[in-house]
């Protein structure tokens, strides 16, 4: 195991990092995740303004102390808050920055020189190579079944392809929701498992009660993958599509062009009212504090290790 993985894992109860989730992840969720022993995370855009982001990060730092947490920055020219949010992230020396979209090597270097670790998510081996060339500290492999903008390659294939040449920090995602699956991710060569969707049902998540209930009630069969809202394949809960008057069997493929179902210039409705989750939610049996789910995850992880005598 590489030194960074060893050092991160020594600070955690479980080899798990939370995936940042648009709208859903809150500062309270990050604090709960970190206190329960995993890496907590949140998109920079979730607080309403850069000032609110500043206040949230200050609160997270004062609550979690030295525990590692991550902020997700959309490093794309369409993100009008990028420069201001970046300044806040630099000011607070956020321990881990997860970059999304069109990251550039100068940004990676600037964050690293300021003391942050930089991770980037990828869905293909050749994207992982580009990230390695940019000098990122950690590669997050998004594989099939992942919530949000999903991956489409099997975790067996993608982890193996990346591990052939990458001995740095590897984080694996895609429907990981049980302790047994966390152990399986390690067996595939990952240093950490990346878990998003189960936290949609957490008390601390900014998700409506109906969304939390749908996550508890649904399973892999209920997940529909479509590019029709954002122009990129993403996972949505079938009952939520139906509740919004859409026919899950007849969603047009847009091949890169998003439909603005709210008639506006962004796709927020696709995340706010049409709810996204990944295939792992069958493991989520109740809504409650994030710490309860993480406690269960830790127990399941120990039981899996015991069963396999590892």
Ligand X SMILES: Cc1cc2nc3c(=O)[nH]c(=O)nc-3n(C[C@H](O)[C@H](O)[C@H](O)COP(=O)(O)O)c2cc1C
Residues that bind ligand X (CB under 6 A): 19-22, 24, 43, 72, 98, 100, 121, 142, 145-148, 173-176, 194-197, 276-278, 280
- For the CB of residue 51, give the shortest distance to ligand X in the complex, in Å: 20
Q: Give the separation between CA 173 and CA 119, rounded to whole angstroms.
A: 13
Nearer to ligand X, 6 or 266 (CB): 266
Residue number with the smallest Cβ distance to ligand X: 196
- Min dist CB 140 to ligand X, Å, is 7
By beta-carbon proximity to ligand X, the closer residue of 148 and 179 is 148
Nearest-approach distance from CB 309 to ligand X, in angstroms = 27
Q: How far is the CB of 83 from ligand X (least distance, A)?
A: 19
Helix 290-308 / helix 27-35 crossing angle, nearest 10 deg? 40
Task: Provide the minimum distance between the beta carbon of 142 and ligand X in the complex, in angstroms, as a whole number.
Answer: 6
Number of residues that this document lists for the chain: 310
**Among residues 3 and 96, whose Cβ is nearest to ligand X?**
96
C-beta of 48 vs 306, nearer to ligand X: 48
Q: Which is nearer to ligand X, 187 or 220 (CB)?
A: 220
Q: Which is nearer to ligand X, 5 or 18 (CB)?
A: 18
Q: Least separation, in Å, of the C-beta of 257 and ligand X? A: 21
Query: 154: which residues sit within 8 A by CB, 6+ positions away?
Result: 143, 144
């Amino acid at each position: 195991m590489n030194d960074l993985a060893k050092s991160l894992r020594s600070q955690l109860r479980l080899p798990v990092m939370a995936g940042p989730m648009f709208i859903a992840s809150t500062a309270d969720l990050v604090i709960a995740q970190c206190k329960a022993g995993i890496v907590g995370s949140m998109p920079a855009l979730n607080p309403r303004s850069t000032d609110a982001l500043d206040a949230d990060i200050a609160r997270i730092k004062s609550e979690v102390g030295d525990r590692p947490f991550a902020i997700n920055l959309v490093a794309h020219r369409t993100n009008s808050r990028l420069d201001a949010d970046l300044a806040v992230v630099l000011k607070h020396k956020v321990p881990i920055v997860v970059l999304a979209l069109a990251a550039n090597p100068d940004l990676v270097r600037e964050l690293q020189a300021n003391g942050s670790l930089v991770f980037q998510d990828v869905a293909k081996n050749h994207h992982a190579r580009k990230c390695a060339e940019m000098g990122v500290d950690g590669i997050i492999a998004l594989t099939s079944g992942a919530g949000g903008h999903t991956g489409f390659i099997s975790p067996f294939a993608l982890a193996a392809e990346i591990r052939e040449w990458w001995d740095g920090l590897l984080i694996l995602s895609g429907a990981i929701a049980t302790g047994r699956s966390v152990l399986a991710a390690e067996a595939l060569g990952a240093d950490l498992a990346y878990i998003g969707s189960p936290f949609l049902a957490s008390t601390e998540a900014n998700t409506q009660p109906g969304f939390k209930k749908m996550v508890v009630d649904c399973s892999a069969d209920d997940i529909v993958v479509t590019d029709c809202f954002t122009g990129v394949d993403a996972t949505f809960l079938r009952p939520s599509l139906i509740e919004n008057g859409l026919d899950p069997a007849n969603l047009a493929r847009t091949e890169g062009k998003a439909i603005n179902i709210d008639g506006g210039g962004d796709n927020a409705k696709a995340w706010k009212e049409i709810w996204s989750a990944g295939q792992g939610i069958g493991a989520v049996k109740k809504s409650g504090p994030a710490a309860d789910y993480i406690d269960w995850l830790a127990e399941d992880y120990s039981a899996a290790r015991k069963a396999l005598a590892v």
